Amino acid sequence: MTDRPAYFPRLASERTDIALLRASTLVARAAETHSGASGLGVGQHLVLEMLAAVGPSSQQQLSEELRIDRSVMVGICDELERANYLRRERNPSDRRSYTVTVTDSGRALVAEAETLVPAHLDRVFATLTPAERAQLSRLLTKLLGVDRRR
């Protein structure tokens, strides 16, 4: 092999989209590894966290808010319901949909899992200073078109 500089550093500096994709992959892999420690998959954690924060929601609302495909959401809710972490009931105002509610055991599980998140984030973003992490958060929020104040 020749003594030439690595290509990826140049690519990442020239192509923000590629750098973001690769960074996203690294963060996603770390999140999946971390989720094993809490006993919840990333999607499961997000569903329980949202239900605990905002209260009963439809599967469609969960899917839209969390940006999880509707077919994947059904599987997540099925697994959480089997484990008694959430319950689904027919929506009284629209019998075609379900209202999804976190159970007490689901609330306890997500609260316990949340205690592990700060250390996980510190490991994943260890190369960034706190100011850089805050800036990254602001930039990603802006890029996603999300108003954090809502």
- Domain spans of the chain? 7-144
Confidence bin at 95 (pLDDT 50/70/90): confident
Confidence bin at 126 (pLDDT 50/70/90): very high
Residue 2 has pLDDT above 70, yes or no: no
- Read off the pTM: 0.80
What average pLDDT does the segment 69-94 reach? 93
Residue 150 has pLDDT above 60, yes or no: no
Residue 106 has pLDDT above 80, yes or no: yes
Q: Count Cβ atoms within 10 A of the Cβ of residue 48 and give its class: 0-12 exposed, 13-18 middle, 19 or more buried.
A: buried
Buried b (16+ CB within 10 A) or exposed e, 90-127: eeeeeeeebbbebbeebbebbeebeeeeeebeeebbee
Query: Is the CATH code 1.10.10.10 the one for domain 7-144?
Result: yes
What average pLDDT does the segment 49-68 reach? 94
**Taking the mean position of all CA atoms in its chain, how far away is CA 29?**
12
> Strand pairing partners for 101?
87
pLDDT value of position 149: 59
